[in-house]
């Protein structure tokens, strides 16, 4: 491979004016003919700005780094018409929107009697509560920002189970999302329908859920996802290959320090082996909003727009990927923390500082990858480890996950829609997150999101439900076996059953008669 090094000499001299003899010793401050120099620079700038297909224009738009832009910044600042070519950074705002079907308190005595595994009342209450605190006010705010600033752009990832719950419990909230997503500057990502960990256990199930999700997004919003994000941003090299085969043009994951090393997450990279473009989350600047915004113990509290933008001004790179839960606004960070006001004024300040906005699909079209990212082991966006230990760090989680995926073949072969739906709802990553016992640096986070009194309670309810699921499977298998018997086999079975019944009846009669005889003999003896 040949590497090309472009070098451009950019220079304009300060031109000497017509300096006369009689001025010697009298006018030492006017050696330069500033008017002429300014005219020449403006002339060059005009020609340069009109040449939109020029090599420099191409480099500014397509070069993998901002090197060219940085070289030309002083020159561009002297010519307002050229400022449009220079953006300090492009911000990629992505919000994850998800709510699980929470399990009810499923006791041992419910097994075999009650197949209602999920707390419908609690799920409805939570969706309505979060809609009021977060979804509706934040949707309205983003819509106003999109209308006010034509350059502003955002991206969403909706889990299928979240959309199902909106349809069930809060259709007005769903309409609000539809109105927002309809805007041309809003993109939707692809993911698993049930927000599941299927990728870790069954590629077949994983692919089915991704396809179901794409279908759902098309039906609800009329848009097709082009970029993929796996549940919890779980990723390794192989995921990029699978996503590529499914037709996606890029993958979003975590910019974990242990995979990047000295490199910055603020560039487009590509996956090892597949060359799939990767967009990496800047977790520090994302978590400043998502987790630290209202933390009064944080040395940077309070976080203001000016302070935050000053940090962005200092980062290296071309694209800043800010990924967070949508519930950050109003639910995790309450309204009285000032989170809505912060978001309201952030776009204006960013634009004033020369920054721009971009969606994931636009980012991979605009910027070429700067290098390869090798991820041989699974990573995620959870906890300080950025691995999958939030869902697989103890025996309870391992057992629950292995059990639920062990029945995949039986569930799918039986073809019972209700059974399949319940099984898939039980795959949602939240159920296993609730079983986490990592109460160290991230303990408070796990406690906050856990609706149960303890991880052990979450495990017990889950395993009770699994046991009932197994009994349903066995009952359906027996029913299916009977239905598959031929009429002659059924007749033979009935005859054999009758014969066995007659034999049992005779044995019972003989045993009764013998007992009766013994009783008579015993009486006579007495």
pLDDT tens for each residue of 379-416: 999 888 899 999 999 999 999 999 999 999 999 999 99
- Angle separating helix axes 395-406 and 455-484, nearest 10 degrees: 20
Q: Is residue 279 part of a domain?
A: yes
* Rounded Cα gap, residues 491 and 100, in angstroms: 49
Q: Is residue 383 part of a domain?
A: no
Mean pLDDT of 444-457: 72
Whether residue 8 is contained in a domain is answered as no
SS3 (DSSP) at 330: coil
Q: What pLDDT sits at residue 13? A: 73
Please check whether residues 97 and 77 belong to one and the same domain. Answer: no
The model's pLDDT over 168-195, given as tens digits with 9 standing for 90+, comes to 999 999 999 999 999 999 999 999 999 9
The answer to whether residue 142 sits within a structural domain is yes
Catalytic annotation present for 385: no
Helical H segments across 291-371, by residue range: 305-314, 339-352, 360-366
The reported pLDDT for the residue numbered 50 is 44
Q: What is the C-alpha to C-alpha distance for residues 1 and 473, in angstroms, rounded to an integer? A: 58
Report CA Rg, the chain: 33
Q: Do 257 and 343 belong to one domain? A: yes
The band of 43, judged by pLDDT with boundaries at 50, 70 and 90, is low
- pTM value is 0.78
Q: Which residue has the tokens 């901002």?
A: 66
Mean pLDDT of the chain: 85
| Predicted confidence band of residue 51 (pLDDT cuts 50, 70, 90) | very low
Over residues 327-336, the pLDDT tens digits come to 999 999 999 9
Dist. CA 347–CA 338, nearest whole Å: 16
**Better-scored residue on pLDDT, 266 or 68:** 266
Alpha helices by DSSP H, listed for 295-452, are 305-314, 339-352, 360-366, 395-406, 408-414, 417-425, 429-433, 443-449
- Looking at residues 88-92, what average pLDDT do you find? 94
Residue 381 domain-assigned? no
Supply the CATH number for residue 99's domain: 3.20.110.20
- Reported as half-sphere exposure (CB side, CA atoms, 13 A), residue 79 has a value of 22
Question: Are residues 141 and 57 part of one domain?
Answer: no
Give the structural domain span for 52: 21-82
If one counts the domains in the chain, the total is: 3
Residue 154, strand partner residues = 93, 186
Q: Are residues 158 and 44 in the same domain?
A: no
For residue 121, count CB atoms less than 10 angstroms from its CB and return exposed for 0-12, middle for 13-18, buried for 19 or more.
exposed
* pLDDT tens digits, one per residue of 276-324: 999 999 999 999 999 999 999 999 999 999 999 999 999 999 999 999 9
pLDDT at 76: 45
CB contact at 8 A, 76 and 85: yes
Q: What is residue 291's DSSP assignment?
A: T
Residues 342 and 464 in one domain: no
Q: Is 318 helix (H, G, I), strand (E, B) or coil?
A: coil
- Phi, then psi, of 391 in degrees rounded to 5: -120, -15
- Are residues 352 and 484 located together in one domain of the fold? no
* Residue from 187, 191, 205, 232 carrying the catalytic annotation: 232
Four-point Cα dihedral 172, 173, 175, 180, nearest 10: 150
Rounded Cα–Cα distance for residues 473 and 404 (Å): 12
Q: Are residues 68 and 96 in the same domain?
A: no
Q: What separation in angstroms does the CA of 464 have from each of 382, 408, 518?
A: 27, 18, 50
> Are the C-beta atoms of residues 394 and 457 closer than 8 Å to each other?
no
Q: What integer pLDDT is reported at residue 223 of this predicted model?
A: 97
356 and 406 fall within a common domain? no
**Omega cis (within 30) before 385:** no
Contact 134, 363 (CB under 8 A): no
Whether residues 316 and 430 share a domain: the answer is: no
Same domain assignment for residues 230 and 340: yes
Per-residue confidence (pLDDT) for residue 385, from 0 to 100 = 87
The answer on 363 and 239 residing in a single domain is: yes
Q: Are 76 and 97 in a shared domain?
A: no
The reported pLDDT for the residue numbered 169 is: 97
| The pLDDT of residue 291 | 93
Q: Does residue 283 fall inside a structural domain?
A: yes
- 46 pLDDT band, cuts 50/70/90, is low
82: left (phi over 0), alpha (psi -120 to 50) or beta: alpha
Q: C-alpha distances in angstroms, 258 versus 23, 211, 291?
A: 67, 32, 21
């Amino acid at each position: 491979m040949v590497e090309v090094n472009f070098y451009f000499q950019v220079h304009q001299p300060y031109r000497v004016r017509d300096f006369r003899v009689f001025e010697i010793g009298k006018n030492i401050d006017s050696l330069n003919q500033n008017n002429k120099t300014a005219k020449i620079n403006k002339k060059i700038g005009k020609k340069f700005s009109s040449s939109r297909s020029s090599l420099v224009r191409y480099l500014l738009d397509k070069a993998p780094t901002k090197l060219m832009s940085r070289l030309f910044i002083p020159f561009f600042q002297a010519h307002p018409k050229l400022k449009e070519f220079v953006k300090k950074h492009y911000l990629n705002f992505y919000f994850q929107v998800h709510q699980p079907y929470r399990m009810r308190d499923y006791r041992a005595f419910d097994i075999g009697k009650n197949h209602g595994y999920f707390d419908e009342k609690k799920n409805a209450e939570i969706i309505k509560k979060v809609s009021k605190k977060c979804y509706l006010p934040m949707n309205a705010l983003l819509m106003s920002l999109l209308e006010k600033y034509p350059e502003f752009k955002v991206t969403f990832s909706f889990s299928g189970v979240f959309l199902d719950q909106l349809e069930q419990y809060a259709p007005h909230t769903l309409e609000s999302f539809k109105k927002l997503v309809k805007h041309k500057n809003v993109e939707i990502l692809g993911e698993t329908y049930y927000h599941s960990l299927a990728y870790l256990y069954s590629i077949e199930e994983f692919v089915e859920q991704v396809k179901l999700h794409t279908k759902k997004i098309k039906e609800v919003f009329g848009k097709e996802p082009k970029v993929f994000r796996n549940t919890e941003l779980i990723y390794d090299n192989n995921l990029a290959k699978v996503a590529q085969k499914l037709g996606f043009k890029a993958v979003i994951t975590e910019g974990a320090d242990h995979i990047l090393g000295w490199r910055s997450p603020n560039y487009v990279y590509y996956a090892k082996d597949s060359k799939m473009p990767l967009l990496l989350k800047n977790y520090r600047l994302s978590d400043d909003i998502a987790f630290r915004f209202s933390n009064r113990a944080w040395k940077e509290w309070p976080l203001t727009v000016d302070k935050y933008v000053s940090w962005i001004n200092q980062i290296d790179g071309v694209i800043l990927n800010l990924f967070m839960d949508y519930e950050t606004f109003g639910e995790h960070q309450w309204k009285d923390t000032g989170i809505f006001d912060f978001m309201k004024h952030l776009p204006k300040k960013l634009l004033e500082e020369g920054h721009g906005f971009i969606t994931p699909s636009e980012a991979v079209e605009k910027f070429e990858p700067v290098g390869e990212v090798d991820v041989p082991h699974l990573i995620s966006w959870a906890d300080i480890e950025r691995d999958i230990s939030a869902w697989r760090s103890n025996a309870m989680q391992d057992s629950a996950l292995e059990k639920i995926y062990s029945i995949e073949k039986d569930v799918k072969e039986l073809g019972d829609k209700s059974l399949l739906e319940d099984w898939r709802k039980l795959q949602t990553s939240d159920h296993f997150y609730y079983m986490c016992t990592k109460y160290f640096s991230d303990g408070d986070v796990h406690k906050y999101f856990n609706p149960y009194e303890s991880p052990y309670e979450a495990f017990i309810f889950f395993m009770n439900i699994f046991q009932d699921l197994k009994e349903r499977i066995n009952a359906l298998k027996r029913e299916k076996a009977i239905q598959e018997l031929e009429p002659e086999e059924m007749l033979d079975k009935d005859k054999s059953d009758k014969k066995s019944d007659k034999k049992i009846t005779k044995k019972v009669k003989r045993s009764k008669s013998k007992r009766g005889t013994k009783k008579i003999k015993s009486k006579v003896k007495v």
